[in-house]
A = this chain, B = another copy of it.
Amino acid sequence: MIIDCHGHYTTAPAAHQRFRDAQIAGLRDPAAAPKAAARISDDEIRETIEANQLRLQKERGADLTIFSPRASAMGHHVGDEALSSAWTRANNDLIRRVVDLYPKSFVGVCQLPQSPGVPIAHSIHELERSVRELGFVGCNLNPDPSGGHWNSPPLTDRSWYPFYEKMVELDVPAMVHVSASCNPNFHATGAHYINADTTAFMQFIEGDLFHDFPALRFIIPHGGGAVPYHWGRYRGLADMLKRPPLADHVMDNVFFDTCVYHQPGIDLLVRVIDNKNILFGSEMVGAVRGIDPTTGFHFDDTKRYVDALDISAADKRNIFEANARRVFPRLDRMLAERGL
């Protein structure tokens, strides 16, 4: 089977966005604040999913998407903890409804109610709710809840540890994923996302996080940011910083997806990164929605690039399925129970 490890509900019903707009309006005018999350019918969810993610799954040949709320809309920098928390619950509940409607096609990953300056421990409750009550298999962790000001401590700082302890206890990985940028220097999907990926990996090199948490697992999306292209630099920096070789120091715990939107990029990814560390992902419907004029196919139809790789069928199966099942053990058990 083919598992897409990176899909967002970017096409949620309009009422959901109106709820968010009202939340934001409520920051200035408390009377405008919404009393509760949007009322959305199953038909509205079906319509937005069947016309988009489910249609593209079928057209492109994936079977199951690990599905989370729209990353750019997480907006952890907007408002305070209470607002982030209400928005996060509404998002995660909506993902659960998608999964309930299409249990064979989607499995949930949660947003977290992060907020600048608020201890990450406050996100533990929503992680537990998402995993234990909603049946989710992972979370998206934002290394910069400020939205481009980068004033939180690095991911290796001990202040993140209580959350990591819960991740390990629940046996769920996190995708390191920032949200929108409110810094005019950083275009969200063109700079902030890729920079965050690169930054997180270098933090892992500098730190010793996986010595403290050998079972902790992170997916760094967008093909690992700049990392595979600069793999020599990172191997060399690990050496200069007197860290162990990357294979021992971080690559038992860090995985890259295939959200790299052209064949040469995917070719490089599989050339330098061990097969066991690569998970199929498309980020669709997402950051780049157009058709590549040089190929005639959508930029984010990443399955084509993996299909075209000159690697063994077994290695392709690892990228498409086995690695995701190893990184998301709760998903693996869920599939095994279905005889898959």
* Interface assignment of A240: CB less than 8 Å from any CB of chain B: yes
5 closest A-B pairs by CB: A232-B262, A232-B261, A226-B226, A236-B288, A229-B229
Partner of A233, one of B240, B264, B299: B299
Extra pairs beyond A225-B226, A232-B260, A235-B292 (4, CB < 8 Å): A150-B185, A186-B202, A190-B202, A230-B265
Binds B, one of A91-99, A161-169, A192-200: A192-200
Kindly provide the distance from the CB of A39 to the nearest chain B CB, expressed in whole angstroms.
32
Check A198 against B191 for contact (C-beta < 8 Å): yes
Check B185 against A191 for contact (C-beta < 8 Å): no
CA distance A152 to B184 in the complex (A): 9
Partner of A261, one of B222, B225, B233: B233
B-contacting residues, A199-235, CB 8 Å:
199, 202-203, 205-206, 222-223, 225-226, 228-235
Measured between beta carbons, the chain B residues less than 8 angstroms from A198 are 191, 194-195, 198, 226
One digit per residue, 1 when the CB lies within 8 angstroms of any chain B CB and 0 when it does not, for chain A 232-245 equals 11111101100000
* Interface assignment of A61: CB less than 8 Å from any CB of chain B: no
Contacts A231-B264, A265-B231, A292-B232 given; indicate if A202 touches B223 (C-beta within 8 A).
no
Kindly provide the distance from the CB of A236 to the nearest chain B CB, expressed in whole angstroms.
3
Measured between beta carbons, the chain B residues less than 8 angstroms from A272 are 262, 264
Contacts A225-B226, A239-B290, A290-B240 given; indicate if A203 touches B185 (C-beta within 8 A).
yes
Tell me the nearest residue of chain B to A292, going by C-beta: B232
Measured between beta carbons, the chain B residues less than 8 angstroms from A58 are none
Kindly provide the distance from the CB of A324 to the nearest chain B CB, expressed in whole angstroms.
22
One digit per residue, 1 when the CB lies within 8 angstroms of any chain B CB and 0 when it does not, for chain A 95-121 equals 000000000000000000000000000
* Interface assignment of A17: CB less than 8 Å from any CB of chain B: no
* Interface assignment of A189: CB less than 8 Å from any CB of chain B: yes
Most chain B CB within 10 A, of A194, A226, A234, A292, is at A226
- Between-chain CB contacts (< 8 Å), 9 pairs: A150-B183, A153-B184, A187-B237, A190-B237, A191-B203, A223-B229, A237-B287, A240-B290, A264-B271
Kindly provide the distance from the CB of A257 to the nearest chain B CB, expressed in whole angstroms.
13
Partner of A206, one of B187, B233, B264, B287: B187
CA distance A233 to B197 in the complex (A): 15
Chain A residues engaging chain B, CB cutoff 8 angstroms: 143-144, 148-150, 152-154, 183-187, 189-191, 194-195, 198-199, 202-203, 205-206, 222-223, 225-226, 228-237, 239-240, 260-262, 264-265, 267-268, 271-272, 287-290, 292, 299-300
Measured between beta carbons, the chain B residues less than 8 angstroms from A183 are 150
Tell me the nearest residue of chain B to A261, going by C-beta: B232
Kindly provide the distance from the CB of A87 to the nearest chain B CB, expressed in whole angstroms.
25
CA distance A152 to B288 in the complex (A): 27
